[in-house]
């Protein structure tokens, strides 16, 4: 166990000063200019679905001694509540090599309720004069909701129709060309060609394309978009795309000059880019990409910085939530290519196998919020290179198995708050890779590495760095292993040795103080997302080790003082990725539209299979033959059999399926594979359709009718078992549509086995 240092070793004056810096974030080394009063300017309000951002432009205050508070309350309430900590941006601070040229205070009021109007009270004070309080009202925005004036059915093909379920429109391009505000297109099962949406809906009547059943838009490996929304010469808005499988192209959804679009609950797979704002003409706004499964083609790991991105949005007021994103250069990017960017939210996402950044929020200006995300197997966790003033709030995220650092702080970034994150990785727990960064606050985080706990080598030339109440750890020992810390390029053995003002209340933490935090030998070893728990273990120094943070903790149940890190001890883990059903396959080789999609999803949902490529298990291998050992596991899990402590067969010793095989033998479902002796089970031998019939017949105790349904099972030792399956509706045959044969000697694939089990045991 690593040594713990409580941090109560600095004087009270420093502790009070650090807390003051938390409340009013402003540099302390600027030259004082008596009489330099602040002058309040325009107040910008950016409402989102859950938060409201406020940016207050100012002039004057060249001595940088003003402060700001933001409070909020429901209209009609008498109680004002504190918003999240504010951040000051000022003209002379260097960002990406040049003076910022902006002068403002900004903050966010977070975790608000829909359907409620809020009052916001912002106050600026300055000892030199000029302070002011302003009160305004705002309401949260809401996502697009289809409000059909017409409901039109679409089927594969091309050509007209009346749009009824009996006479549908043929082809999605035909539908898109006729679309008017308030049209909801029900996209029926089948495979469709790529299409482009040029028409816009309206605020109250969006145009919606809603999948019904297994609707697949297949790009045929196009080098363009599979679904294109908009065009280079116009703005397209108020479009909903939901519950489609979009696959096999360069851009899954090519969103050009788009505003007010909702990309919900789709499966986007086998693409170079998932959802992509390709134009970036500073008109993009209020784009919602949530509850999708997005899988790319970019191999992980690799060197360099691939250009492919899973979600890549520009502009202001965007929301990226509860997506599962895999195999891209950057998994999620909210980065303006031109113009300013305000009020973006990224939360609830599960990003993994990201060659570069898990989440990228570069060049956002103010009130960007990144919380409750999981990043696994990536180079960086969250990139802030740079934030152009701030605030960027990065809180309650988990980072595991990164190549570089949890927060990428390059290009003179400034104005970000890092709170309640948990990161565990090979190498340094955190660092800056020699890049300058300023005006940053770290609170209540847990970062653990195998080299330095942190290695910050740059010395801030202006601004401040407010580090306190964090838990830092490393698995290396002092001495031959080296010191634990490097701050301003000076090495320090332990946290108690750090200079005053750096982690005055920080603690050291051991890797065993987090649940399931064991690391692979190197960062390029695959870790299945969700393998690491990372909650505080019983007795961990992280428990009750943090300090309260206004508004940032409002969505978390806290007992006692806040725990350090992303999670509170004793509470369930958050839900990452899609939170609604029907968003596509959990296996990338059984997408929506696959013949056995429903059967395989049922099998996985029942816990009968996890996949075929542990530990990742993102593939099912549907065409692979089922072995007798796998068959034993399927049936054992499906029927919840007893597992006796026996050794019935001579050839299953050491097999991972030995206990499943013994369970089948105990239940009388198998006798063996070498009658009459039956001393062997043959666990690696493929299961034939005849053997599968016998397994299921015995397992389910089916009736054996006196029938002769199939022409090719006469004389088979499994004929009665096959007839029992046919009578029970578990099989129809192997040669549809005639189904006159059963093919008893043909191997059963994993996909076929899913279908057999679903028919036999499903609802």
* Complete domains list, the chain, with CATH: 20-139 (2.60.40.10), 597-761 (no CATH)
Rounded Cα distance between 367 and 113, Å, is 18
241: Cβ contacts below 8 Å, ≥ 6 apart: 208, 209, 227, 229, 253, 261, 262, 263, 264, 266
Average pLDDT over residues 741-746: 90
Q: What is the pLDDT of residues 626-662, one digit of tens each?
A: 999 999 999 999 888 888 888 899 998 888 899 999 9
Q: Which pLDDT score is estimated for 585?
A: 60
pLDDT tens track for 27-65: 333 344 455 899 999 999 999 999 999 999 999 999 999
Kind of pairing between the strands at 236-242 and 215-230: unpaired
Distance CA 16, CA 495 (A): 19
Longest CA–CA separation in the chain, Å: 105
pLDDT above 50: residue 598: yes
Rounded Cα–Cα distance for residues 30 and 735 (Å) = 82
Question: What pLDDT, in 10s, does the model give residues 333-387?
Answer: 999 988 889 999 999 999 999 999 999 999 999 999 999 999 999 999 999 999 9
**Model pTM?**
0.81
The Cα–Cα gap between 635 and 193 comes to: 40
Residue that is written with structure tokens 């609830």 in the block? 348
Nearest alpha carbon to residue 290 among 248, 336, 346, 329: 346
Q: What is the pLDDT of residues 110-167, one digit of tens each?
A: 999 988 999 999 999 999 999 999 999 999 988 888 889 999 999 999 988 999 999 9
Count CB-CB contacts under 10 A for residue 427. Answer: 19
Given this model, what pLDDT does residue 205 score?
Answer: 96
Give the pLDDT confidence of 186-223 residue by residue, as tens digits: 999 899 999 999 999 999 999 999 997 679 999 999 99
């Amino acid at each position: 166990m690593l040594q713990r240092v409580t941090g109560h070793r600095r004087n009270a004056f420093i502790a009070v000063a650090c807390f003051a810096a938390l409340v009013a974030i402003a540099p302390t080394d600027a030259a004082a200019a008596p009489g330099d009063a602040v002058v309040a300017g325009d107040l910008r309000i950016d409402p989102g679905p859950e938060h409201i951002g406020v940016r207050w432009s100012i002039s004057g205050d060249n001595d940088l001694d003003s402060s700001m508070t933001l409070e909020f309350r429901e209209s009609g309430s008498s109680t004002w509540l504190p918003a999240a900590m504010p951040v000051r941006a000022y003209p002379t601070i260097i960002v990406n090599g040049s003076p910022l040229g902006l002068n403002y205070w900004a903050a966010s009021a977070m975790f608000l309720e829909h359907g409620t109007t809020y009052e916001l009270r912002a106050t600026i004070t300055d000892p030199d004069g000029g302070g002011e309080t302003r009160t305004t009202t705002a309401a949260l925005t809401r996502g697009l909701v289809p409000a059909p004036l017409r409901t039109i059915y679409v089927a594969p093909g091309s050509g007209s129709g009346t749009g009824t379920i009996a006479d549908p429109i043929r082809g999605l391009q035909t539908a898109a060309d006729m679309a008017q505000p308030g049209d909801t297109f029900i996209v029926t099962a089948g495979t469709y060609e790529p299409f482009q949406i040029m028409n816009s809906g309206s605020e109250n009547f969006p145009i919606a394309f809603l999948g019904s059943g297994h609707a697949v838009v297949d790009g045929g490996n196009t080098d363009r978009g599979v679904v294109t929304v908009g065009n280079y010469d116009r703005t397209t808005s108020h479009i909903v795309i939901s519950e489609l499988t979009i696959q096999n192209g360069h851009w899954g959804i090519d969103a050009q000059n788009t505003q007010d679009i909702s990309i919900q609950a789709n499966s986007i797979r086998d693409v170079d880019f998932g959802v992509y704002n390709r134009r970036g003409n500073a008109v993009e706004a209020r784009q919602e990409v949530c509850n999708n499964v997005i899988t790319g083609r970019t191999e992980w790991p690799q060197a360099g910085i691939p250009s492919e991105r899973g979600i890549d949005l520009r502009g202001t007021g965007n929301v990226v939530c509860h997506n599962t994103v895999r195999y891209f250069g950057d998994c999620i990017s909210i980065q303006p290519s031109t113009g300013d960017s305000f009020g973006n939210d990224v939360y609830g996402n599960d990003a993994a196998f990201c060659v570069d950044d898990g989440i990228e929020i570069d060049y956002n200006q103010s009130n960007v919020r990144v919380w409750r995300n999981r990043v696994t197997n990536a180079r960086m966790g969250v990139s802030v290179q740079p934030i152009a003033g701030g605030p960027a709030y990065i809180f309650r995220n988990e980072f595991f198995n990164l190549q570089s650092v949890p927060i990428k702080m390059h290009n003179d970034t400034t104005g970000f708050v890092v709170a309640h994150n948990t990161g565990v990785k090979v190498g340094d727990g955190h660092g800056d890779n020699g890049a300058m960064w300023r005006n940053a606050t770290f609170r209540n985080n847990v970062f653990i590495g195998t080299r330095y706990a942190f290695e910050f080598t740059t010395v801030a030339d202006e601004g401040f760095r407010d580090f306190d109440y964090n838990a830092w750890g490393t698995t290396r020992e002092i001495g031959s292993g080296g010191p634990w810390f490097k701050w301003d390029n000076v090495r320090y053995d332990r946290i108690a040795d750090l200079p005053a003002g750096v982690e005055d209340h920080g603690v050291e933490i051991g890797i065993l103080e987090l649940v399931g935090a064991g690391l692979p030998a190197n960062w390029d070893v695959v870790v299945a997302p969700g393998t690491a728990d990372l909650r505080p273990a019983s007795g961990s120094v992280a428990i009750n080790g943090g300090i309260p943070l206004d508004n940032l903790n409002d969505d978390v149940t806290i007992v006692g003082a806040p725990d350090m890190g992303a999670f509170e001890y004793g509470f369930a883990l958050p839900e990452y990725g899609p939170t609604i059903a029907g968003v596509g396959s959990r296996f990338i080789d059984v997408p929506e539209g696959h013949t056995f999609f429903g059967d395989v999803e049922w099998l996985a949902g029942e816990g009968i299979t996890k996949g075929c490529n542990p530990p990742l298990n993102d593939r099912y291998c549907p065409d692979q033959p089922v072995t007798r050992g796998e068959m034993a596991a399927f049936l054992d899990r499906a029927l919840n059999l007893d597992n006796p402590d026996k050794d019935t067969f001579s050839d299953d010793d050491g097999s991972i399926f030995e206990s499943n095989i013994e369970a089948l033998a105990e239940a009388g479902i198998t006798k063996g594979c070498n009658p009459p002796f039956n001393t062997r089970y043959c666990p690696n031998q493929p299961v034939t359709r005849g053997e599968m019939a016998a397994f299921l017949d015995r397992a389910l105790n089916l009736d054996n009718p006196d029938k002769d349904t199939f022409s090719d099972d006469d004389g088979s030792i499994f004929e009665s078992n096959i007839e029992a399956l046919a009578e029970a509706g578990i099989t129809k045959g192997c040669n549809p549509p005639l189904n006159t044969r059963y093919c008893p000697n043909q191997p059963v694939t994993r996909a076929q086995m899913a279908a057999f089990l679903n028919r036999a045991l499903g609802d």
